[in-house]
Structure 1
């Protein structure tokens, strides 16, 4: 029984290295055809994948003091705030309608409500791929806060909260905090940053766009 499990594990590792080698070679070729920083970046990532496939070693993980196990990678934490010239209840009502979230967060493709607490999320991932998971609202205070986390078995283990603070001078401070593990661990985070999807910058840009759009729109929409 143990020997069969070991054999299956070894076969899985061999298949993973083969896929990594093919992907690495393709990226190297694409990178060499490109010009500028993007081409160099693609070639570098491709070379890294090809090296890892050929040797079975992971120099990035080793340099970071991590094993090849993606579970060893620490979650990425992102937070940002923006002041919106609307009441907390108006802003909360818009966020609480979860189907609106892809219009706020550019990395989301869709959010489908399953019931009062559960929803299915589909998000963009590096290199034109996407991931999906189910999430559950665990903290819901109308006009004040929304908190959620992904359900067990999610491709992207994540949690987040949005707080709506009523300001004495008027308006609402919207504070977003997100924590997640990239699908490919530390390598996934590195590739995302390489292709201009650095999460802290992305959420800052998303919130600024939300502020401009929401302040200029009819809050009832």
Structure 2
């Protein structure tokens, strides 16, 4: 049986919910604030190709957006159905502040990945990356772009 690693992290950002949400839809900007992400190529409105390198282990995989509602949430999962899934939620705190909460699940595959999970290295990286997202969006003051489409999951498995 496969063991899934789960991490949840929340950060408050000093930008309106629309700005935080719009920036998160710009997947190709993720390497600017996610240390393990080498590149993300947006293939379609709903699909992305990822290249990650964590602890010296490079992985490539595709994800699909399975649920998306502007200014509220974006949920995704890997198209192989097992290796990666996540959801990010956006909650307005007031006109200029937003709570961003991310929940990630993945299946460590290699000995190095399993050791990293056991030592909570992955959890520390997600916390650091969320702080980097905060710094990135607050220093800019505006998003680099945005996609405001709705996506409803019609496939098996439903939401996370």
Name the TM tier (shorter chain). Answer: 0.7 to 0.9
SS across alignment from 1:105: coil
Name stretches of at least 5 consecutive residues in structure 1 with no aligned partner. Answer: 1-71
**Structure with the higher fraction of residues in strand conformation:** 2
Partners of 2:7 and 2:120 in 1: CA distance: 13
Q: 1:193 to 1:140 in 2, by over 3 A?
A: closer
CA RMSD of aligned residues (A): 2.1
Q: 1:146 to 1:116 in 2, by over 3 A?
A: same
What's the TM-score, normalizing by structure 1? 0.60
| Alpha-carbon distance, 1:211 to partner | 1.0
Aligned length: 144
Name stretches of at least 5 consecutive residues in structure 2 with no aligned partner. Answer: 145-160
CA offsets per residue over residues 121-157 of structure 1, 9 Å max, x none?
010033x33110010001111111111000027xx71
What's the TM-score, normalizing by structure 2? 0.81
| Alpha-carbon distance, 1:197 to partner | 7.2
Partners of 2:33 and 2:88 in 1: CA distance: 12
- The aligned residue for residue 171 of structure 1 is 97
Partners of 2:95 and 2:58 in 1: CA distance: 41
Partners of 2:20 and 2:13 in 1: CA distance: 8
- The aligned residue for residue 201 of structure 1 is 124
Runs of 4+ in 1 over 2 A off after TM superposition: 187-194
**Structure with the higher fraction of residues in helix conformation:** 1
- The aligned residue for residue 84 of structure 1 is 13
